Amino acid sequence: MRRILLALLTLSLLAQGGSAGARESELEASSESISDSLSATLRDPPIDRRSIIGSKLFYRALTRQDTDTVEIAFTGDTLIHNTVSTAARRNGPPFDFRPMFAPVRHVIGSADLAICHLEVPLSPTSSDLSSYPLFNAPAEVADALAWAGFDSCSTASNHSYDQGVSGVMGTLDVLADAGIEQAGMTGRITDWWQPTLHRVGDLTVGHVSGTYWLNGLRLPADRDWLVQLLDAEELLAVARRAKTQGADLVVVSMHCCTEYRRTPTPAQLELSHRLITSPDVDLVVTHHSHLVGPVEQVGGEFVLHGLGNFLSGQIQSPSLREGVIALAKAVRVGATWRFDEINAIPTTVTKGTYRIGVAEGESAERVLASLKEMGADVGLAITEPRTLTEEEAKLLE
Domain boundaries along the sequence of the chain? 2-13+57-331+347-395
Q: Which is nearest to 309 in space by CA: 153, 134, 138, 118?
A: 118
Residue 361: pLDDT band by 50, 70, 90 thresholds?
very high
- Model confidence at 348, pLDDT cuts 50, 70, 90, reads very high
pLDDT of residue 393: 81
Closest CA to 123 of 178, 176, 180, 173: 173
Measured between alpha carbons, how far is 67 from 239 in angstroms, rounded to an integer? Answer: 25
Is the pLDDT reported for residue 23 higher than 50?
A: no
**Digit-coded pLDDT (tens) for 63-73:** 555 689 999 99
What is the predicted pLDDT for the residue at 52? 36
Q: What single string gives the DSSP state of each residue in 282-319?
A: -EEEEE-SSSB--EEEETTEEEE--BBEEEES--SSHH
Do residues 75 and 117 touch, judged by C-beta distance below 8 A? yes
CA-closest candidate to residue 88, choices 357, 355, 393, 388? 355
Model confidence at 43: pLDDT above 80: no
Question: Phi, psi at residue 330, to the nearest 5°?
Answer: -100, 135
| Measured distance CA(224)–CA(358) in Å, rounded | 40
Eight-state DSSP code of residue 118: E
Mean pLDDT of 343-349: 98
Q: Quote helix, strand, coil % in the chain, to nearest 5.
A: 35, 25, 40
pLDDT confidence bin for 396, thresholds 50/70/90? confident
Over the stretch 94-144, which tens digit does the pLDDT of each residue have?
999 999 999 999 999 999 999 999 999 999 999 999 999 999 999 999 999
pLDDT, tens digit (0-9, with 9 covering 90-100), for 271-314: 999 999 999 999 999 999 999 999 999 999 999 999 999 999 99
Pairing verdict, β 69-79 and 322-333 = antiparallel
Q: Rounded to 5 degrees, what are φ and ψ at 205? A: -110, 125
Amino acid identity, position 279: P
**Structure confidence at residue 44 as a pLDDT band (50, 70, 90):** very low
Question: What is the phi/psi pair of residue 153, to 5°?
Answer: -140, 150
pLDDT band at 13 (very low <50, low <70, confident <90, very high): confident
pLDDT of residue 98: 98
CA 286 to chain centre: 10
Distance, CA of 313 to chain centre: 19
Distances (CA, A) of 138 to 95, 100, 120, 250: 7, 14, 10, 30
Q: What is the pLDDT of residue 30?
A: 52
The pLDDT value recorded for residue 193 is 82
The DSSP code sequence of 61-90 is: HHHPPP-SEEEEEEEEEEE--HHHHHHHHH
The confidence score (pLDDT) of residue 69 equals: 97
Pick from 1-5, 78-82, 218-222, 332-336: least confident: 1-5
Is residue 343 over pLDDT 80? yes
More confident residue, 8 or 152: 152
pLDDT of 39 = 39
Give the model's pLDDT for residue 56.
Answer: 61
Q: How far apart are the first and last CA of the chain?
A: 52
C-alpha neighbours within 13 Å on the C-beta side of residue 72:
30
pLDDT at 179 over 70: yes
Percent of the chain with pLDDT over 90: 77
Angle (deg, nearest 10), helices 2-14 and 20-37? 160
- How many Cβ atoms are within 10 Å of 25's Cβ, its own excluded? 12
User: 308 or 387: whose pLDDT is higher?
Assistant: 308
Strands, E assignment, 6-138: 69-79, 113-118, 122-123, 137-138
> Is the per-residue pLDDT at 249 higher than 50?
yes
Q: How are beta strands 249-255 and 322-333 bridged, if at all? A: unpaired
What pLDDT is attached to residue 395? 84
User: What span, in angstroms and rounded, lies between the C-alpha atoms of 35 and 140?
Assistant: 33
pTM of the model: 0.88
pLDDT digits (tens, 9 = 90+) for 227-239: 999 999 999 999 9
Residues 130-162 as b or e (16 or more Cβ within 10 Å = b)? bbeebbbbbbbbbbbbbbbbbbbbbbbbbbbbb
pLDDT band at 397 (very low <50, low <70, confident <90, very high): confident
**pLDDT for 264 beyond 90:** yes
pLDDT at 61: 55
Distance (Å, whole) CA 52 – CA 171? 19
- pLDDT of 205 reads 98
Burial (CB count <10 Å: 0-12, 13-18, 19+), residue 366: middle
Higher confidence at residue 29 or residue 18?
A: 29
Write down the pLDDT at residue 47.
Answer: 33
pLDDT score at 140: 98
CATH architecture for residues 2-13+57-331+347-395: 4-Layer Sandwich (3.60)
Higher pLDDT, 390 or 21: 390
Flag whether pLDDT at 188 surpasses 50: yes
Pairing between β-strand 196-200 and β-strand 203-211 as defined by DSSP bridges: antiparallel
pLDDT at 161 over 50: yes
